[in-house]
Structure 1
Amino acid sequence: MTFDIVNVLPLLIGGISSFLIGMLLERYKNRRIELLYNISYQKIGIPNDSYFNGKLKVLYNEGEANTLYFFKIAIKNNSNFDSKELPVNLNCDIDSYIVSHSYSKILETTEINISKGYQEKFNSYMNNVRPILNQNINAEIQEPDFSNMVWIHKNINFVASSLNRNDEMEFTVLVGSNIDNHQPMMFLNIPTSGVKLTYAEDPTKTNEKVGKMSILLGIITTLLLATYQRS
């Protein structure tokens, strides 16, 4: 058996070229902005299954709160394009409510504002509902103010002035629940066209993919060398 490098070399070059072109097309197809995001949380207090020699109370508005969680929402522009006027909508599950929010990591090139639609709903709540509840916390709120009140307690909508390529921003949201030991959930939505929202990949899974690719390339190299030596 003979090994003709002249005939094999074009095949290798063609295969490598096709692979590189495929990667470039995948990266630039549709010219969409890809946002990587990650949502993590930390309970305020001590887990139920932990041993603690004593009694610990978490208070909110002078009342004991058994279910309070800090959520961190990290967003990274993973594309080759800059984003302008990026809406960032956060909401919690039906059995939880948003207590407060802040920005834990914002670049100097990015300005964060409350969205106009959210501000209008919040102003309506403060003008039409809050005065009634201040007089009687158990007062019955009529529609449409009741639905608006529920929405306000479960949503927060931002607008980021920009998020340049490879830049990151982080939000922190305090979430509570009236249900003891309930596990709140936080959701992210980017309601605009031309944006692909992708959950950040687990680094361990990325390492596994790299490892499998390295093994595959090693097998191919071994077969080529074996074929060459037999010739």
Structure 2
Amino acid sequence: MLPDTNYDSFAEAYSTENESSLINAFYERPAVLDLVGDARNRRILDAGCGSGPLTKALGSRGAIMTGFDASKEMIRLARQRLGDEADLLVADLGQPLPFEDDSFDDVVASLVFHYLPDWVSPLKEIRRVLRPGGRLIMSVNHPLLYPLTNPGKGYFNLTKYSDEHSFNGQRGTLTYWHRPLHAMTDAFSKAGFQIETISEPPYSSDAPAGIIPPQFKDRDSFLSFIFFALRAQ
């Protein structure tokens, strides 16, 4: 079940944009790292690792890293970034993962699940490769984002939609699946996870003033992603 978004066609542009953008480098990635906490000597799987910036950050904090992505181009870029610092492979989150049961202390899934129409099966597979009591830290599009940016569209229906973006000057189309919050939490329960944290954090105080849009100058929070820390039961 490969996602509809084909990152291979704009992998380098997306990776370059991801390095320093407000939304990725100074909002989403710091929030995930905060939820992970102390990573020293923990075996962590980066599910949907892209070109590896989060994999690199966790490895620099002492984690033993493995990463996979459905995009061959993203994995090529991740290998350039990481060398032998992490085990990296091409794999599809919608299919059985090539890991033994109880292989990892934690899994991170950064901006991945909103590309998938079904959450339960992938979550069960992540639960399988996590040790008992391990955690899944994940971020997805906030469930209010779709109805707010598409007036007249319903909040409660599972809905496929696409957005056009510019990544370092190159156009790219991302195709998502909107689902309401209760559908997210229902999927967590069905897959054997308990919610420990739901977070809607501010962006990092380290963000350079020059990359903050004028409408955000008087506040440190905006509606974009929602973050979860889940415990495998």
Q: TM-score range by the shorter chain?
A: under 0.3
Q: TM-score, normalised by structure 1?
A: 0.22
State the TM-score, normalizing by the size of structure 2. Answer: 0.22
Larger Rg: 1
